Amino acid sequence: MSSFSAPSTGRRRNLYAPPPCPHLADYRSNAHGLAKPFRSLQPCLRVRPLGRPEIRREPQEIPRCSPCSAADGGGCGMGPRLYACLACAAVCCPAHAPSHAEECRPGHEIAVDVDRAELFCCACGDQVYDREFDKAVVLAQIAAAAANASASCSLPESLRKRRRVDYRPWTPDPREWATMRRESSPLLLPDASDPYSAGAANTSTSSPSSPPWGLRGLNNLGNTCFMNSVLQALLHTPPLRNYFLSDRHNRFVCQQKRRRKKDGSGGSMGGDRRNPSGGLPVCLACDLDAIYSGVFSGDRTPYSPAKFLYRWWQYASKLASYEQQDAHEFFISMLDGIHENVEQDQHKPQSQGNGDCCIAHRVFSGVLRSDVTCTICGFTSTTYDPCLDISLDLDSNQNYTNVPTTKSHACNGENDLILSSQICGVSTLMGCLERFTRPERLDSDQKFFCQHCKVRQESLKQMSIRKLPLVTGFHIKRFAHSSIKKMSRKVDRYLQFPFSLDMAPYLSSSILRSRFGNRIFAFDGDDSDAAIDLASEFELFAVITHSGTIEAGHYVTYLRLSNQWYKCDDAWITHVSENIVRDSQAYMLFYVQKTLYYEASEDVSAS
């Protein structure tokens, strides 16, 4: 295929650039009185519902090959491919396009595929590419996607005004009590003197014969359910658990290093939040290592993380109180504390964006991509931001109407969940991810400075996932705050989530490939990594739920261990069925990669 672009250099040096088409170059040089190339095609660019561009003068126009129609006496003249001449708008099939270019030359060699909006050289008999033309097509696609997105968010009149209903605490009736007893079974303590048998589950057929290793309740130390729920999820995060249980971070060795570092500095290590009292600096990784040792010691009696709570108060002094805290805020604060205190690996790049700086970022750190496109000239600004989890909107005004989608989730067995988004008051995790990666038009007060236009312009923004972490965490925004009304509320909207999730449709490589196809469009860093595409299938292993209101709520964690689900409600551990987990009000979801891919290391000792 021919291209009117200079040979690629830099990071695209492995791609072969064919010689440019001389007929396209001649067409662009305005040698035949054509004032502005491709300007006449702007009103004819149309986008189908599924996003494929086409060329039509009228929306309902059916193009036909003129020579074929004349030979057939006014017949159909509709072949598999039809090309419209850019000079005279004559429509020809592949058989008559070369003869039209030869008879009407010069200036009639370049045509456009009316069904695919792609340039074609009738003289060369091959596709040709032009950046300016592709930018116009892509801009039309983005504008159409944004228009469809804004139209899909509109609500019927009957659903705009909703009656306020005061919150009433739920008390189970006798029938619900019977269902709860039938669907769940507590892990009893038959013999408290035997730590290895204490807490074993009963012998009912619906629960396992013995609880998994390391499953231990955590005592509530006073409104600390937010901490217990996050700790349970982290304690059973497979890569993090394997790291600490393999003694990769030994708290005794770490304390010795910090003590020697303090003695070498003359004891002047106080004054910061990691060392408020002038002693050894706070190391949350050491305290987490102590919890791992206690939880996986074999003792089934509830564990009290009092020392860890005190050390976290020292690290996050602004949150040091017995008041209720947000579990997501604690999760981010804890990972930041591990990131600041864990000694960095000297054998790997010290880049937070690459996720190689500490164990917290190696497990949870991913990279988001943000594309902001100018609606006037099509210039795109791309930025990359590291993230520890993905926050998804769960507004009560979304997903009332089902938006047609071409994404397939058959591998998750969740086709019925996607269709169920038509139900009022029900959202799906896939729908939230599609909304997260959907193009949106920025407000007039959010105009960005276009480097091509040299002024602030209207723009479209689209998010995507550039790099997936080993463990992907989703934070569901259930707490809405209004600065205008000066009030906060909780979104008690039911969320359907799959136990197996394919993240491939939301990767940057997939979104760019589905939106632009094989077009040549200037985007920085759009080279897809094969390992990223392969490691896109995830399994759910932890769900943190929130029940109640903003003022008075409670956090509970559901864990998937040995293919069984367990409810961790502070000190109480019970075996539950999958239906109980599906019916829960998810606040945070944790998925781990099904298959882990390792990069080869030059130094064996570094691994």
What positions carry a catalytic annotation?
225, 554
CA distance 418 to 324: 35
Positive or negative CA dihedral for 475, 477, 478, 483? positive
The CB density around residue 393, as the number of other CB atoms within 10 Å, is 13
**Residues in Cβ contact with 118 at an 8 Å cutoff, skipping those fewer than 6 apart:** 112, 127
User: In this structure, what token pair is assigned to residue 360?
Assistant: 């917290």
Please give the angle made by the CA atoms of 272, 275 and 279, to the nearest 5 degrees: 145
Which residues partner with 553 through β-bridges?
A: 548
CA distance 263 to 12: 52
Q: Name the 3-class secondary structure at 246.
A: coil
Q: What is the distance, to the nearest Å, from the Cα of residue 552 to the centroid of all Cα atoms in its chain?
A: 30
Helix H or strand E encompassing 49: none
Q: What does residue 230 show for φ and ψ, rounded to 5 degrees?
A: -70, -40
Positive or negative CA dihedral for 146, 148, 153, 157? positive
Helix-helix angle 327-341:306-315, to 10 degrees:
80
* Residue type at position 457: Q
Positive or negative CA dihedral for 579, 581, 586, 591? negative
* Residue type at position 21: C
Q: Please choose, from the candidates 474, 499, 471, 496, the residue with its C-alpha nearest in 3D space to the C-alpha of residue 412.
A: 499
Instruction: Show the 3-state SS of 10-55.
Output: HHHCCCCCCCCCHHHHHHHCCCCCCCCCCHHHHHHEEECCCCCEEE
CA dihedral defined by 246, 248, 254, 255, rounded to 10 degrees? -10
Q: Please choose, from the candidates 462, 473, 468, 500, the residue with its C-alpha nearest in 3D space to the C-alpha of residue 586.
A: 473
The CB density around residue 88, as the number of other CB atoms within 10 Å, is 10
Please give the angle made by the CA atoms of 540, 544 and 368, to the nearest 5 degrees: 65
Helix H or strand E encompassing 518: none
* Pure H helices in 489-570: 508-516, 530-534
